[in-house]
Structure 1
Amino acid sequence: MHRQHGLTENRGINEAAMTNAGPVRSHRFGNRFAELDVYDRSPAFLRRLGSAGGPLFGGSDPDDDAELPAGIAFFGQFVDHDVTFDPTSAIDRRNDPAALRNFRTPALDLDSVYGTGPEVSPELYDGRDPDGAKLLTGTDGDPVPGDEDAPRVARYGATDLQRNEQGVAILPDPRNDENVVISQLQLAFVKFHNRVVDYVRSGPGHGLVRAGEDYFDAAERLTRWHYQWLVTELFLPAICDGSVLDDIEATGRQYFLLGDRIAIPVEFAGAAYRYGHSQIRDTYTVNSETTDVEFFPGPSVETLVDLFADADPDNPPDVSAMADAESGAEMGGQSLAGGGPVPNELLVDWGHFFDCGDGTTPQPARKIDPQLPPALFLLPFVPEGEEQSLAARNLLRGVALGLPGGQAVAEAMDITPLSNAELPLTDDRSFQSYLRSQCRGADEDAPLWLYVLAEAEAQQDGHSLGAVGSRIVAEVLLGMIDADPDAYRNVDPGWRPALPRPVSSPELDDPHTSTAPYGFGDFLQFATGPVPDGLEIAAVDADGSGGAPAPDTVDEATGGEAVVLEHTGAGPLSLAHHAIDFEDDQTNEFGDITLSPGESLVVYTGSDDLESEDYRVLTLGYSQPVIDNTGESVTVTTPTNEVSAFARFEP
C-alpha cells in the first residue's frame, strides 16, 4: 500500500478545465507542496547568485566528468520534451501554476514524435507508404553503406529530419531541433519506428503484430514500449539513487500520487528535472572527424572563463563589445546550434554519446552539481536586454512558479534535509558561506533547483541525484507510466524488449533469450542501421560462376553477371519502388514485384532476352559489365532511399 504523507487538496494536479460541455482533461502543471512557503528572494539576489562569474559558474575541469555517457543528458532532454511543453509561460509572471497550460500529454507516449496521429498530423507521415505506417524523414541523404568511416546514420539512409523550404524542421515539438544532438535523437526515434514497421511487416518480426493491430499500431506500440523500457530500466537507474528506486519498487510511490487528471508537478518541471543543465558539456566530439564542437555559438570557453572569472555580478562585462573584439573564427565557429539543416560534418555518430558496441569510448557527461558550464551563462537565443544566464533564469522561474525551498520539500517528504552549510557550491565553498558573503547568513533555506544539484554532489559525488532529487524525478516519471493504461507495465507486465539486440546480444535470434539488458546502443544501432525487412543479397556473381543460377541463355555483353536476392523475413515483401544500384550512378527500380518468405529473385544485369524456367528473374538491360571488379558494391534501397541490402563482389 502507498503511504500518503501530507496530501492536501491540490488544485493544480486535480483540477479539471471546464467547458460548456463539462470537464475535460486539463494537462496542467501544479504544485505538489502548495501548502509550503514559497522560496521568495529578491530578483537582484537571485540574478547575482546565478550570474556569469557567480558561484554557479563552472569551468571545464576533467574532474567534473561523471561516470555516465554524454548522451544521457540529451535523452533526458528528449524525455522532458515528450511530457512538458508550456509555450505561454513567462519567467517574470508570478501566477498559479494551475494556469500554465501543458501542451504535451503528461505521459511517456512519444507524442513529440507521433503528434496527434496520422489523421490529425498528416504532415508527419509518409503518404507513399502502402500501409500508411511510416513517418517522414528528410530524403536528401545519399547512403554510403560501404564507407565504414562514415557516421552510421549516413551509411544507411536519411541523415536529417524533414524540413520545409526554409530549413525549419517539421515536427510536433520545435524544441527537438534546438540543438544538433537532440535533432539527431529525434531522427533516431523516427527511423526506429520506420525500422519497426519493416521488421513487423515483412521481416523476421512479422509475428509481433497483435490481434486487432495494423502495421502502424504494432510499430507505434513497440516503439513506445522500448522507449518506456529505456526510461525505467536504464535512464532512471543511471540518474537516480538506487536505494530510492528500490524503495519505490518495494513500497510504491509515496508523494507524487497522480490521480485521474494527470498533471506535471512544478517541483519536477521547474526544479528537480532541470538537473540536466549541469550535465551539459561546453564542447563535444560529434563523430570521428569532428571534435571540440561548441555547444552554443559564440566566444570560446576560454574567452568566457577569462571574461567572467572576476566579474562583478552587479556590473557585468559588456558582452557586445567583447563580441566585436573577438575574431570572426571564434565568434562564427562551428557549434551544435539547431534550427536548420544538419551539415554532414555534424552528423552524430552515437558511439561518442552511448556505448554502441563499435569500439568507440563515449565521452562523459558532466557531473550533477551546482556548477553549470560557461556556455549556459551566455544563451545566444535570448533577446538583448533579457536574462542570458540559464542559472539565473532557473532561479527566477522557481519564484514565478511558487516553488518552496529545498529543505522544506525534504522535510515534507520525510527526508532529513541538508543544511546550507552541507550544500557545496564549489570544492571549498558552501551555500552558507556564499550567503554570509551576501550578508544573508541567517537564511536557512536554498532554492529547490539549487538544492537538488548540491544534494547530488554532497550525497553521490555528482554521479547521480540525491535523495530529494531522485524521489521527485523517479516518482513522477514512473507515475506517468503507471497512469498510462497502454504502457507495457500495465498491458503486459512480463514484457521484455522484443527487437534485435545488435549490441547486447548480437548472436541471438530471439531477444527474449538474452540475459543482457537491452541498451541504448541496441536502440540506436537498430534505428540507424539497414532496413530490417528480411531482404538479403545472397550472391554477387560477376561471370555466371559465382553462385547465381545459370540462365537458359547467357548475355554475351555481361557474361551472365547477376545478383541473387533472398527474402529471409516472415511476411510478404513488396519491392515496388525499391531500386538496385551499382557503382555507376544509375538507379534501377524493380517494378511491381512481391517476394514471399523464402523466395529468391535473380537480377541479371544483361539484356531482357535472359530467361529462366526455375527462378524469378529480373533483367536490367546493361550493355557492359557493372560488377566485374573486386570490391564493387551492390546496394538495394527503399523508396525513401534507405539501405535495405548491401554487398560487395568478392570472387
Structure 2
Amino acid sequence: MTALFALLHNGLVDVVRRGEPATGPNASLGAAYKRFLCARDALTLIYRNIVRKDLMRRVIHPEIYAAYAGTNPDFIDRPAPSNSGATSRGIREHGGWQIPLEFSHGAFRFGHAMVRPEYVINDLATHDLNNTLEKNSANDPVNMPLDATWIVRWSYFFEIKGSRPNFSRRIGPFLSDGLGNDQFFPAVDQTNRVGLLYRDLLGSALAGLWSVDALIAEIAVRRPHFIGISRLLADRPYRVRELRNWLPSVPNYGGLTTEDIETLANDPPLPFFILFEAMQQPHSEGMHLGPLGSIIVSEVIFGALANDELPAGNSSASLTEALAEVSAEYYPTNVFEEVPEIERMDQLAEFIAEIAGLRQAVPAFL
C-alpha cells in the first residue's frame, strides 16, 4: 500500500507538471516545490475520499454509516455547551480533542480479526501468514530486498474487471492462527499467554476503558435511536444471555469456569464485545461492525475527516471539485482536469496503472 501511494504521488507530480503554464520557470527549485505541494494536497484528498466512501462504507453498519457519512454529522464526542463547564469524554483539559482509548485499545482492534491465514500475492506466489510476518529485514536480512514474488497484483486485492480478490475474514472473536504464533507475539507477562488477541485484551484492561454497559447507557442518553438499531444493545438481559450461551459452546474459548462465563457475560471486555457484536449481526454475520463498534470508529474517523486541514476537503461536493480548488491555490488553470472521480481502491489502482504506465507491467500490476 505504501508503494501504491508512492506511485500515485509521483504520477500526480507528472500530471501537475504537464498542466503547468508553459511560460513558467518549470525547472526552478521554487516551481518544483510548488509542484510537490500541489501533488501532496491532491493525494491527501484522494486518500481521504477513499477512506470516506470505500473503506468506511464497507466496515461500518449501514445505518451508522448513513448518519456519519453525510455533511455536518452530529458527533457525540465533541465539546458541548454546559452550565457546569464540564466537557465531553474526548476532550482533554489542555490538549484539545484526542483519540479515545475506547477506539485505540478497543473498537479499532477489529482489523486483527480480518487478517487471512494466507494471501495470493500475484501469479507467482501465495504466502501464508507466518511467512508474511517473518519477512522483514530484522528476521530475514539475507533475503532482502524482497524479490518479484512479493510484487502485488492489485486485482488479487480489489475487485478489478470482475476479479475475485483475497477477501478478508468475517469480523468475529477469532483470529488466524498466525496471529497466535509465539515467535511473533511472545508472552508479555507471568501468565505466559501468547498471541495478538491476548495482547489486545490485556491492553484494553490496562487502559481502563469504559465498560460496554456504560458506553451503551451514555449513547442511549445522547442518541437513543442508535441503540434502538440493535437488540443486543437495547436489551441487556438478552445481551447477557447471548454471551452466556455462546462462551461455553466454542472450543477456542475452552477452560472457562462457570464464574468466568458469568463475569464475561455481564461485563465483556470491549475489544471482545466489538467482535462478538459484529458476528451476531442479523443477515450480515461479521460482514461489517455492529452499531456500537461502528459508532466508536465513525466518531474518530469521520471526526478526523471533518477536522480536515484542507478546506477543499470539506467544502466541495465531489473529488473533482475539491481537486479544482486545490489546483487554483497554486496555478491559474486546473492541472487536475484529467483526474477522474476516484471513490474506491479499484478505481485508484486503475488510475495509477494509467498514469504510471503499468498496464503492461511484468509481473502484472492489475
- After TM superposition, the score normalised by the length of structure 2 is 0.70
Cα pair 2:212 2:270 within 8 Å, conserved: yes
Cα pair 1:423 1:455 within 8 Å, conserved: no
1:351 aligns with 155
Instruction: Give 1:430 deviation, angstroms.
Output: 7.4
In 2, Cα distance between equivalents of 1:194 and 1:480: 26
Q: Structure 1 pair 235/286, CA: closer, same or farther in 2 (3 Å)? A: same
Report the 3-state secondary structure (helix = DSSP H, G, I; strand = E; otherwise coil) of the residue aligned with 1:276. helix
Please give the residue correspondences for 1:420-499 in structure 2 after superposition, counting only pairs within 5 Å.
420-423=240-243, 429=249, 437-443=257-263, 444-459=266-281, 460-486=284-310, 488-490=312-314, 492-497=315-320
1:282 equivalenced with 2:282 (yes/no): no
1:56 aligns with none
Report the 3-state secondary structure (helix = DSSP H, G, I; strand = E; otherwise coil) of the residue aligned with 2:9. helix
In 2, Cα distance between equivalents of 1:348 and 1:336: 18
Cα pair 1:371 1:425 within 8 Å, conserved: no
2:42 aligns with 222
Cα pair 1:488 1:495 within 8 Å, conserved: no
Cα pair 2:103 2:300 within 8 Å, conserved: yes
Per-residue CA distance 1:487-535 (angstroms, 9 max, x = gap): 5433x32232478xxxxxxxxx8556x7xx6320121233355537xxx
Q: Structure 1 pair 241/369, CA: closer, same or farther in 2 (3 Å)? A: same
- Counterpart AA for 1:455: E
1:372 equivalenced with 2:175 (yes/no): yes
In 1, Cα distance between equivalents of 2:20 and 2:159: 26
In 1, Cα distance between equivalents of 2:148 and 2:197: 33
Q: Structure 1 pair 645/344, CA: closer, same or farther in 2 (3 Å)? A: closer
2:130 aligns with 296
Q: Structure 1 pair 412/463, CA: closer, same or farther in 2 (3 Å)? A: same
Q: Which has the higher helix share?
A: 2
Cα pair 2:64 2:295 within 8 Å, conserved: yes
Report the 3-state secondary structure (helix = DSSP H, G, I; strand = E; otherwise coil) of the residue aligned with 1:413. helix
Cα pair 2:244 2:262 within 8 Å, conserved: no
Please give the residue correspondences for 1:91-490 in structure 2 after superposition, counting only pairs within 5 Å.
185-202=1-18, 214-248=34-68, 249=70, 252-257=73-78, 261-291=96-126, 293-297=127-131, 337-339=135-137, 340-357=144-161, 359-382=162-185, 387-414=193-220, 415=227, 416-417=233-234, 419-423=239-243, 429=249, 437-443=257-263, 444-459=266-281, 460-486=284-310, 488-490=312-314
Identity %: 23
What stretches of structure 2 of length at least 5 have no aligned partner? 23-32, 79-89, 138-143, 221-226, 228-232, 324-336, 362-366
In 2, Cα distance between equivalents of 1:282 and 1:486: 39
Per-residue CA distance 1:364-417 (angstroms, 9 max, x = gap): 110000111111111533457665311111111011111132232222211335
In 2, Cα distance between equivalents of 1:645 and 1:240: 36
- Counterpart AA for 2:60: C
In 2, Cα distance between equivalents of 1:193 and 1:426: 48
Report the 3-state secondary structure (helix = DSSP H, G, I; strand = E; otherwise coil) of the residue aligned with 1:370. coil
Instruction: Give 1:355 deviation, angstroms.
Output: 1.5
Cα pair 1:266 1:401 within 8 Å, conserved: yes
Report the aligned-residue RMSD. Answer: 3.5
In 1, Cα distance between equivalents of 2:355 and 2:260: 60
Q: Which has the higher strand share?
A: 1
Cα pair 2:175 2:197 within 8 Å, conserved: yes
Q: Structure 1 pair 645/530, CA: closer, same or farther in 2 (3 Å)? A: farther
In 2, Cα distance between equivalents of 1:422 and 1:225: 43
- Counterpart AA for 2:317: G
Tell me the number of residue pairs that the alignment of Structure 1 and Structure 2 aligns: 295
Question: Which structure's CA Rg is the greater one?
Answer: 1
1:58 aligns with none
Instruction: Give 1:231 deviation, angstroms.
Output: 0.6
Instruction: Give 1:191 deviation, angstroms.
Output: 1.4
- Counterpart AA for 2:181: L
Q: Structure 1 pair 251/188, CA: closer, same or farther in 2 (3 Å)? A: closer
Report the 3-state secondary structure (helix = DSSP H, G, I; strand = E; otherwise coil) of the residue aligned with 1:342. coil
Cα pair 2:122 2:153 within 8 Å, conserved: yes
Instruction: Give 1:425 deviation, angstroms.
Output: 9.2
- Counterpart AA for 2:55: F
What stretches of structure 1 of length at least 5 have no aligned partner? 1-184, 207-212, 298-333, 500-508, 533-642, 647-651
- Counterpart AA for 1:409: L
Cα pair 2:211 2:270 within 8 Å, conserved: yes
Cα pair 2:248 2:254 within 8 Å, conserved: no
Using CA pairs below 8 Å that are at least 6 residues apart, which structure has the higher relative contact order?
A: 2
Cα pair 2:133 2:184 within 8 Å, conserved: no
2:326 aligns with none
Please give the residue correspondences for 1:4-23 in structure 2 after superposition, counting only pairs within 5 Å.
none
- Counterpart AA for 1:284: Y
Report the 3-state secondary structure (helix = DSSP H, G, I; strand = E; otherwise coil) of the residue aligned with 2:124. coil
Q: Structure 1 pair 384/434, CA: closer, same or farther in 2 (3 Å)? A: closer
In 2, Cα distance between equivalents of 1:272 and 1:385: 22
In 2, Cα distance between equivalents of 1:351 and 1:645: 14
Cα pair 2:185 2:195 within 8 Å, conserved: no
Per-residue CA distance 1:615-638 (angstroms, 9 max, x = gap): xxxxxxxxxxxxxxxxxxxxxxxx
Cα pair 2:114 2:169 within 8 Å, conserved: yes
- After TM superposition, the score normalised by the length of structure 1 is 0.41
- Counterpart AA for 1:399: A
Q: Structure 1 pair 217/241, CA: closer, same or farther in 2 (3 Å)? A: same
